[in-house]
């Protein structure tokens, strides 16, 4: 069963790597991350570049800032998982959360 981890990001790049690392640390490994950036003005591109070779991490960008609720809705629409879980970019998951 695929679990989609949905991340709506806006100017949280300083925390984002920790959030993604917490997904990598899961004991359950059948997951994808749907990450949508909502027009950040920080180092988002630099941070996300580190994960560009992992097909499980799907990165999208809003053309302009549309707000958290609309960005989360877009995450849902782009997900493929049977189970959806939101992860805020300034949060992290315990290793057995999935």
Q: What is the pLDDT of residues 61-80, one digit of tens each?
A: 999 999 999 999 999 999 99
Does 74 fall in a domain?
yes
pLDDT, tens digit, 9 for 90 and up, residues 1-31: 999 999 999 999 999 999 999 999 999 999 9
The span from the CA of 26 to the CA of 96, in Å, is 6
CA distance 63 to 50: 22
Whole-prediction pTM:
0.93
Q: How many structural domains are present in the chain?
A: 1
Find the CATH number of the domain harbouring 79.
3.90.550.10
What is the maximum alpha-carbon separation in the chain? 36
Q: DSSP string covering 30-80, please?
A: -EEEEEEE-S--SSHHHHHHTTTT-TTEEEEE-SS---HHHHHHHHHHH--
| Position 51 in a domain | yes
């Amino acid at each position: 069963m695929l679990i989609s981890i949905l991340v709506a990001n806006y100017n949280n790049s300083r925390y984002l790597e920790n959030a993604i690392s917490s997904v990598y640390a899961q004991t359950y490994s059948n997951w994808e991350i749907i990450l949508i950036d909502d027009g950040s003005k920080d180092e988002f591109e630099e941070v996300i570049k580190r994960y560009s070779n992992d097909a499980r991490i799907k990165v999208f960008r809003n053309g302009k800032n549309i707000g958290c609720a609309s960005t989360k809705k877009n995450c849902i629409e782009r997900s493929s998982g049977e189970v959806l879980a939101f992860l805020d970019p300034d949060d992290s998951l315990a290793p057995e959360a999935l």
